[in-house]
Amino acid sequence: MSESTTPTFRFPRTHRLRKQREFDLVYQAATARSAGPLRVFGRPNNLDHCRLGLNVSRRVGHAVRRNRVKRMVRESFRLLQHELPGGYDLVVVARPHQRLALEDYQRLLRDATARLHHHWQKVQADAT
């Protein structure tokens, strides 16, 4: 495998939702799937990659706990970005929960995203 075809696991700014308008568009699509303590909102973005936004409220815990949850979800996304179906803006909302391992966050994110992808494929098929 050549160096140019080796997938990278970077998490550049182009893979992040940063503006409130971007978050609002995902929420307005009103399509979400839950997996454990994560609720994943998703919307097609017409790009060849997914973009991630996070929403972790104070109900999850103090700042250290919230930041740990955000780090774990970001790392899960970073490691899974080549497995996830491309072309979606995702907003992950974390609800209060007990501490989970990285593998658990990966499994939850993978499951919820797969179900969102299935939903949007069905919507697209019904539209044609």
Question: Which architecture does CATH list for 16-127?
Answer: 2-Layer Sandwich (3.30)
Backbone angles phi, psi at 14, to 5 degrees: -70, -15
**pLDDT tens per residue across span 4-55:** 566 667 766 767 889 999 999 999 988 899 999 999 999 998 888 889 999 9
pLDDT single digits (tens) 54-93 = 999 999 999 999 999 999 999 999 999 888 887 899 999 9
Q: Where are the domains of the chain?
A: 16-127
pTM of the model: 0.86
Find, among 84, 123, 97, the residue nearest to 38 by Cα: 97
Residue from 66, 120, 121 nearest 92 by CA: 66
